[in-house]
Amino acid sequence: MAVLSEFSLIQRYFEQLTTQREDVLLGIGDDCALLQCPADHVIAVSIDTLVENIHFFADVDPEHLGYKSLAVGLSDLAAMGAKPAWFTLALTLPEVNEDWLNGFSQGLAKLANKHNIQLVGGDTTRGPLTISIQVHGFVQPEKALRRSGAQIGDMVYVTGTLGDAGAALQLQLREWDHAALNVEDKTYLSQRLDQPTPRVESGQYLTDFASSAIDISDGLLADLGHILDKSSVGARLDLTKLPLSFSMSKVDRKTAERFALQSGDDYELCFTVPPQYFAEIEQGFEGQCTRIGVITSDEGIYFIDDNDALIALKGTGYEHFPS
């Protein structure tokens, strides 16, 4: 088969790939896209780059890769409380492989169409496989969920379950295994790593109630740490409350906690809520969310374990507080 030109590649795989929105005055095909932002809103923008052998394995399923490349951007929009609208794609390819392009674009379209986000432009170049996606969403400026809004006395919550993606990565790298995990567990964990669920609707719901939010891409401790730094507060977490999936709850508790606290790639949201909105979160939240702690005036993160003993955070790990 003749190798596709750049022009026909774009036309075949990307021009009509996603939903067509009315606020796109001009999409793929000109020098720029022309986009209409709704009144009283601003545009939330974020870009992420995935590089082969650094962010993903060379033999990863291209459909999963397409899905995940967009999922990480949607997760940033979710963490800001923004409603997804448009994205652009900069694709660097070592060669034109139509099987790969087909899988990649299908994975991308699957998630894009679920969230009504339109591909409006991009760039295609030759080189080591690299995918950059920039997402754009709408949010009212006073409602955007910033990292800097946490106040003493706010409760700390997370969506979903933690540690699944980190465990899946260690399993894939063959650096860890656990006798209690069967084939279904491993499939489930892999799916959490390869096709994470960006909490887009949850993020928008939270704009009326949360004082701060972040998405968990580097691990709960690291990402909650960003909220604490930007808000100049501390947190006390209840280790017994960390939400674990059915699969990870089969693993010994200490190991599961370590994954939940320290491993990344879960793309759940961590957020803080002032006392007057507890009911809206505990009762009105669609999907799972778990209260794991409270914002305090002490700098850093402290933990309560199942013996009610206080544990202090040291560096990126945690160890018992010397009494």
- Give the residues lining the site for Mg ion (CB under 5 A): 123
DSSP 8-state code for residue 4: P
In angstroms, rounded to a whole number, what is the distance separating the alpha carbons of residues 49 and 76?
A: 13
Question: Which residue, 123 or 319, has its beta carbon nearer to Mg ion?
Answer: 123
Question: Which residue, 123 or 177, has its beta carbon nearer to Mg ion?
Answer: 123
Q: Which segment (24-32, 78-86, 177-185, 225-233) binds ligand ADP by CB under 6 A?
A: 24-32
In angstroms, rounded to a whole number, what is the distance separating the alpha carbons of residues 5 and 109?
A: 22
- Which of ligand ADP, Mg ion, none sits in contact with 308, Cβ below 5 to 8 A by type? none
292 binds ligand ADP (CB under 6 A): no
Write the interaction track for ligand ADP spanning residues 177-196; mark x where CB under 6 A is met and - where it is not. Answer: --------------------
Q: Which segment (25-33, 98-106, 234-242, 261-269) binds ligand ADP by CB under 6 A?
A: 25-33
130 binds ligand ADP (CB under 6 A): no
Beta-carbon-side half-sphere exposure of residue 284 (alpha carbons within 13 Å): 11
98 binds ligand ADP (CB under 6 A): no
Total of residues contacting ligand ADP (CB under 6 A):
13
Contact between 219 and 263 under an 8 Å Cβ cutoff? The reply is yes
- Which of Mg ion, ligand ADP, none sits in contact with 10, Cβ below 5 to 8 A by type? ligand ADP
Question: Which residue, 50 or 90, has its beta carbon nearer to Mg ion?
Answer: 90
> Closest Cα partner for 241 from 231, 229, 256?
256
CA dihedral 88, 105, 109, 167 (to 10 degrees): -100
Contact between 142 and 80 under an 8 Å Cβ cutoff? The reply is no
31 binds ligand ADP (CB under 6 A): yes
Q: Which segment (99-107, 117-125, 184-192, 268-276) binds ligand ADP by CB under 6 A?
A: 117-125
306 binds ligand ADP (CB under 6 A): no
| Helices assigned H by DSSP within the chain | 6-13, 62-80, 98-114, 164-172, 183-194, 200-206, 220-231, 253-262, 278-284
DSSP 8-state code for residue 298: S
Minimum CB–partner distance for residue 49 and ligand ADP (Å): 14
Question: Tokens in use for 207?
Answer: 């704009």
Q: Token match 């896209």: residue?
A: 33
Question: Tokens in use for 92?
Answer: 């660097």
14 binds ligand ADP (CB under 6 A): yes
Residues in the site for ligand ADP, rule: CB under 6 A? 10, 14, 28-31, 89, 91, 119, 121-124
